[in-house]
Every structure is written in structure tokens, then in C-alpha cells.
Amino acid sequence: MNEISEIKKYAKSHQVPIMQDGGIDFICRYITEHKVKSVLEIGSAIGYSAIKFASCGKDIFVTTLEIDLDRFIQARQNIEDNGLSDRICVLNEDALKFRTDKKFDLIFIDAAKAQYIKFFEIFKNNLSEKGVIVSDNLFFHGMVQNPELTKNYSTIKLVRKIRRYVDFLKNNTEFYTEFFDAGDGLSVSGRRNKINREEIFASKKPDSKLNVKLVAFDLDDTLLNDERDISEHSVEVLRKCAEKGIYIVLCSGRAENGILPFVRKLNIAGLQTGRFIIAMNGAEVFDLHKRESVFEEKLGGGILKTVHQEAAKRDMGCHVCDADTIYADRDTPWTRKDALMCGLNFKVVEDFDSFMEKGHPKILIPAPEEQVASFMPYLKEKLKGRAAVFTSKPYFLEVMPYNCGKGQSILWLANHLGIKKIETMAFGDSFNDESMISLVEYGVAMKNAQDEIKEKARFVTEYTNNQDGAAVFLENWVL
Ligand code: SAM
């Protein structure tokens, strides 16, 4: 079929879905006006849209993916008949599995609607610097705006998924999306620039006072300044909160003794509202009045042994700890780093595997950033569903019980104290704070937090950890 009208006729008679004219014209105009040179299409069907895109100019190259073998064969034939085989590369691939390093100026998503978010997340890394992702069928024949148009259960489910995709695009802080009333509803998403993102983070603040009864604080880079201290101003604000009846909970990756100096500095341990701390990233909730753990989660000896052996294969040390001592499998500047940072004792244990048999709340692998970055994906895969693997700092790889994190422990403590979730707040900056930022009602990221954490957080502080960011936020919105 080398006449485009014949391809359309064939599509109609064989019930192959292809783009509406309005949508095709919109994208072709975009290709010409923005001098697009390379296109990746997810969902070729029989090659109709790919042929239209490639026909916009002699220097345009299209890669298009089609999962269905019969459609792929037909698409290849149509492309050949139109003399475009040298500029359109059609591949019989499942886009959910296909990976490439190539960059494209325009990525067009026009395959299984239910998978749009996945396609977006997979292929966003293939965009050239100013590239855009275009998505089709966002109206889904008018049903997205008017759901009553269908009573069919699977169509209703699909419509819901498209709506979820539209929300995903609207709330995306990494990409900015414009929606167009062309064809069956199109969107064009481009990467936000840094300034744009900063503006969004700056706008993440409450519009009225918040009613909270429990506030949790990560320590490093959150409540602590870069001198690893709590400023006098922060001490004053946190004490005021505690005296007002708000539980102040220090919640750190550190062991109990690494947290206690800061409880002393705040001088709140004598109060009911200052009696709890959360240690080891949520694996332990400690009651300072009773001097005992009220909640504890542990990794079993088997998992600890696996982590130890995998780290050792890569010549990396690891350690576990209790309230005041770090127990390492070897003595290196790296295994000593955490003990030095948190003021804990340091001991090397000869038979490390036997030592770990009874289980521990967490195991930590301290190593140079590049080694941590390359080991983490392997370990995550190996322990999938059995343990949580994450970095608390780029050079600290941590393994903890699955589904146990700061967020889960804060909610456990809130429940233990009869405090509702809607009365909980937490401040954090890093990946080990992700669970608390997402699970509590008011997750607050520090101005100096990782961008991913700021994206997840409901609010972002106006000031950094060195400018009493958390204390100022509490003064403005809680006290
Ligand atoms: N873009 C085409 C056009 O306008 O000429 C129409 C594409 S049609 C709406 C969607 C196509 O995506 C179908 O042919 C379907 O087989 C294909 N598809 C669905 N899931 C896919 C996947 N995971 N990977 C690749 N293709 C997929």
C-alpha cells in the first residue's frame, strides 16, 4: 500500500486503530515548527502515523515499536511500499521491555492506554535536551470528560487509568505538560528547567495553621546544621512545641546513643512529649522514661549473612550496631566512619556471620559513592521482597527489614499514643526519610533536601538546615 488513503481504508476494514487526522496534523505541525529530527513511537500499528511523521521532511528519522507480529509485518510492508525503509525503523518489540540509549526529539506514546505512566517513566530518559513526550487519546472518545458515556466495566477501568495519567502529568514536577484539543486529545510534556522546579518547590507551603500533635525530625541535614548541632533558636522552638503538648520525636538512622546527645540538648526527655525517640531508620522505637524499646524490627541472620558475603566479594566492609557500639567485619577508615560521625564505640568482630545469627535491625555498608551506586541495584534485586535497600548518604548503603521505615514507625508510635494520622508531621531531606515524608499527613522536605524528596513532600521549608528551616516552619505554621 503506497497510498496513504489505502492504509487508512485497510485500517478501517481490519479494525486497526490509527490516529485521527486532527492529532496527526497537530504532531506534523509540531515536527516542522520545532525542527524535530528524531522520533520514537510507542505503538506503530500498521505504520500509518510513522509514515506521516517521516513524510514531514527528508531529514527526519523514526523508530517505531509494535508488539503485535501481524501488525508489525504489515507496517514494515507499508513503510517499504512508501520508500521509507531507510528512515523508519520498525521493530517488533514490547515497549515495556525494550531499552535503548538513543535520544529522541519527540517521543510519541500511542500504545496500551493502561501503561501510559510506565511508558512515560521508561522513555523519559531517552529525550534529547529539549525533547518532548506527546501522548494521544487523552479524551478517549469523550469518555474521560463524560464517563457516563459508557457502562462497560473494562472501558470504565481504562478511562480511570487515563484520568490517573492526566493527574500524573499535571502533578509532575519534573515535566511541564500542555493539553490540546486536537484529535482524540493530546498532551505535550517537556522537561521543566531548574528555575521552574525551584518555583514549584517554593510554592509548596501551607495556607493556614496546621493542627499537629506529633512532629518527627530526621537529624543529619534536617534538624542538625552542618556543624552537626542544633541551633539555640531551634532548641527554643522545639521546646515550645513540646511544652504545648506536641510530641517531639527525633527519628534517625543512628543508633540510640547517637541520638541521645540531641535529646539532652533539647532538654525535653523529662516531658511526656519528649520521651520517645526512633532509632535505626525506624527499626526501633525507644521509650526514654522506661528505658526500653517499645517497638523493634530485625533482619534475620540469613539475610545479614548474604549482605555480608556479597559486600565482602566486592572488598567492601559492613557493620551492625547496638545502642552504643558499632560492630564491623573489618577495620578500615570506611567502617569507622559512622562510629566517628555518631560518637559510638567501634569493635571488629572476628566471626561476623555467627555474631549476626540472632538478627539485627539493620546492616550498613559504608563505601565510596561509585561503589555504593553500582552495588545497590544488584543488592536490591537480590533481596527483592525480603529487605529494603537504600542509601542514607551517598556513601552509606543500608539494608533494613522489608516494609519497616521511619514512616511506618512514626505511624505505629502515633497509634500507640492515640494520635490520629492527620495530626502527624515529619521533616526530612534524604532517601531514608522517604517513607516518613510520604506516610505522615504533613511530610515536609527541607529546602536543602534531594529534589526527589521535595517532589514527594507536601510542603518544602523556606530555609535550609543551616538557617533553622524546620524551626521557622513550625513557628509559621504550627505554633
Ligand atoms: N500510532 C499508530 C497510528 O496512528 O498509526 C496507532 C497505534 S495503535 C493506537 C496502538 C498499537 O500499540 C497497537 O497496534 C498495539 O498492538 C500496540 N501496542 C500495545 N502495547 C504495546 C507494547 N507494550 N509495546 C509495543 N506496542 C504495543
CATH of the domain at 319: 3.30.1240.10
Closest atom, ligand 1, to C-alpha of 19: 4
Confidence of residue 302 (pLDDT cuts 50, 70, 90): very high
Comparing 403 with 52, which gets the higher pLDDT?
A: 52
Is residue 244 scored above 90 in pLDDT? yes
- For residue 361, the CA-to-ligand 1 centroid distance in Å is 47
Question: Are residues 182 and 39 both part of a single domain?
Answer: yes
Closest atom, ligand 1, to C-alpha of 52: 5
Per cent of the chain over pLDDT 70 is 98
Give every CB contact of residue 62 below 8 A, 6+ residues apart in sequence.
38, 39, 40, 41, 50, 53, 54, 87, 88, 89
Residue nearest to ligand 1 atom 1, measured at CA: 44
Say yes or no: CB of residue 4 within 6 Å of ligand 1: no
Is residue 152 scored above 80 in pLDDT? no
- For residue 47, the CA-to-ligand 1 centroid distance in Å is 10
Residue nearest to ligand 1 atom 14, measured at CA: 45
Question: Which grid cell is 430?
Answer: 534524604
Comparing 172 with 118, which gets the higher pLDDT?
A: 118
Alpha-carbon span 372 to 331, nearest angstrom = 18
Helix ranges, 14-152 (H): 21-33, 48-54, 69-81, 116-123
Bridge partners, 312 (sequence order): none
208 domain-assigned: no
203 domain-assigned: no
Is residue 142 scored above 80 in pLDDT? no
205 domain-assigned: no
Mean pLDDT: which of 17-26, 208-217, 374-383 is highest?
208-217
Angle formed at CA 110 by CA 108 and CA 112, multiple of 5 degrees? 140
φ, ψ of residue 341 in degrees (nearest 5): -65, -35
Question: Which grid cell is 166?
Answer: 492526566
Say yes or no: CB of residue 258 within 6 Å of ligand 1: no
Say yes or no: CB of residue 136 within 6 Å of ligand 1: no
Is residue 62 scored above 90 in pLDDT? yes
Confidence of residue 200 (pLDDT cuts 50, 70, 90): confident
The predicted structure's pLDDT at residue 12: 93
Question: Are residues 84 and 155 both part of a single domain?
Answer: yes
200 domain-assigned: no
- For residue 429, the CA-to-ligand 1 centroid distance in Å is 41
What is the CATH classification number for the domain harbouring 292?
3.40.50.1000
The predicted structure's pLDDT at residue 2: 61
Alpha-carbon span 211 to 442, nearest angstrom = 10
Residue for grid cell 492506554: 113
Question: Are residues 279 and 311 both part of a single domain?
Answer: no
Q: What is the DSSP letter of 275?
A: -
The predicted structure's pLDDT at residue 391: 85
207 domain-assigned: no
Query: Could you tell me the residue range of the domain that residue 172 belongs to?
Result: 4-195
Confidence of residue 392 (pLDDT cuts 50, 70, 90): confident
Question: Which grid cell is 269?
Answer: 526527655
Please state which of the ranges 25-39, 88-102, 142-156 shows the lowest mean pLDDT: 142-156
pTM: 0.59
Closest atom, ligand 1, to C-alpha of 119: 23
Handedness of CA 132, 133, 137, 138 (dihedral sign): negative
Q: Are strands 61-65 and 387-393 parallel, antiparallel or unpaired?
A: unpaired
Say yes or no: CB of residue 91 within 6 Å of ligand 1: no
What is the CATH classification number for the domain harbouring 187?
3.40.50.150
Confidence of residue 93 (pLDDT cuts 50, 70, 90): very high
The predicted structure's pLDDT at residue 453: 92
CB 352 within 8 A of CB 329: yes
Question: Which grid cell is 372?
Answer: 555504593
- For residue 155, the CA-to-ligand 1 centroid distance in Å is 17
Alpha-carbon span 280 to 145, nearest angstrom = 48
Which secondary-structure segment (H or E) carries 13?
Answer: helix 4-13
Question: Are residues 84 and 100 both part of a single domain?
Answer: yes
The predicted structure's pLDDT at residue 139: 85
Domain edge (last residue) among 343, 368, 401 = 401
Closest CA to 474 of 165, 216, 163, 192: 216
Alpha-carbon span 90 to 108, nearest angstrom = 14
Q: Probe ligand 1: pick from 42, 48, 53, 93, max atoms within 8 Å of CB?
A: 42
Closest atom, ligand 1, to C-alpha of 96: 23
Question: Are residues 317 and 367 both part of a single domain?
Answer: yes
Q: Probe ligand 1: pick from 24, 67, 84, 100, max atoms within 8 Å of CB?
A: 67
328 domain-assigned: yes
Question: Are residues 305 and 250 both part of a single domain?
Answer: no
- For residue 152, the CA-to-ligand 1 centroid distance in Å is 22
- For residue 68, the CA-to-ligand 1 centroid distance in Å is 8
Residue nearest to ligand 1 atom 3, measured at CA: 18
Confidence of residue 212 (pLDDT cuts 50, 70, 90): very high
Is residue 341 scored above 90 in pLDDT? no
202 domain-assigned: no
Q: Average pLDDT of the chain?
A: 92
Alpha-carbon span 451 to 429, nearest angstrom = 9
348 domain-assigned: yes
Say yes or no: CB of residue 112 within 6 Å of ligand 1: yes
Question: Are residues 306 and 369 both part of a single domain?
Answer: yes
What's the structural domain count of the chain?
3
Alpha-carbon span 271 to 441, nearest angstrom = 24
Alpha-carbon span 402 to 413, nearest angstrom = 18
Domain edge (last residue) among 140, 164, 195 = 195
Question: Are residues 63 and 151 both part of a single domain?
Answer: yes
Structure confidence by residue, pLDDT tens digits, 154-180: 778 888 888 889 989 988 888 989 888
Give every CB contact of residue 421 below 8 A, 6+ residues apart in sequence.
411, 414, 440, 441
- For residue 135, the CA-to-ligand 1 centroid distance in Å is 12
Structure confidence by residue, pLDDT tens digits, 406-463: 999 999 999 999 999 999 999 999 988 999 999 999 999 999 998 889 988 999 999 9
Residue nearest to ligand 1 atom 16, measured at CA: 68
Q: Average pLDDT of 381-408?
A: 88
Q: Probe ligand 1: pick from 26, 110, 162, max atoms within 8 Å of CB?
A: 110
Q: Are strands 387-393 and 396-401 parallel, antiparallel or unpaired?
A: antiparallel
Residue nearest to ligand 1 atom 10, measured at CA: 111
Say yes or no: CB of residue 303 within 6 Å of ligand 1: no
Question: Are residues 282 and 349 both part of a single domain?
Answer: no
Question: Are residues 269 and 309 both part of a single domain?
Answer: no
Give the end-to-end CA distance of the chain in Å, rounded to a whole number: 72
Confidence of residue 3 (pLDDT cuts 50, 70, 90): confident
Provide DSSP, 109-144: E-S-GGGHHHHHHHHGGGEEEEEEEEE--SSTTTTT
Question: Are residues 258 and 311 both part of a single domain?
Answer: no
Question: Are residues 277 and 410 both part of a single domain?
Answer: yes
Domain edge (last residue) among 352, 377, 401 = 401
CB 131 within 8 A of CB 104: yes
